[in-house]
Amino acid sequence: MKKIAILAAAFVFILLLTKIANQVPPAPPPGTAFSLKAQKVIQCSADEITLVDTHQKSTHLEKDTSWPECIAFQKDQVMDFYLSRGDKTRFLSAEQTVWWRKAL
């Protein structure tokens, strides 16, 4: 009886670990597109850029050669960035944030 209980507990434990492992989402593949909405550029160099949102949460990105020059970003301009993941962050496009998103 004791051996059956130990085997049943081990089996349930393995099932539980399998269920937990299957719930973890896989890492997105390179080239996956994403967007950062209502961002201000606070720091920009040839290789890096730092963005901050309306809640003062900063995002630091390593840039590739697809990004425009830093002078294209004005200090207090709030923009939506459309980017792609890879070894470095690829710039797809950017547009001015709509007025109602700035207030969020």
The rounded distance, in Å, linking the Cα atoms of 82 and 24 is 26
CATH of the domain at 45: 2.40.50
pTM: 0.66
Tokens standing for 53? Answer: 């949102």
Number of domains in the chain: 1
In a domain, 54, yes or no: yes
- Reference 58, options 35, 73, 40; nearest CA is 40
For 42, other C-beta atoms within 10 Å of its C-beta total 13
In a domain, 14, yes or no: no
Q: pLDDT digit string (tens) for 31-85? A: 668 889 999 999 999 999 999 998 899 999 999 999 999 999 988 899 999 999 8
Q: Residue 10 falls within a domain, yes or no? A: no
Contact assessment for residue 37 and residue 78, using Cβ atoms and an 8 Å cutoff: no
What is the domain extent for residue 38? Answer: 33-102
Distance CA 55, CA 52 (A): 8
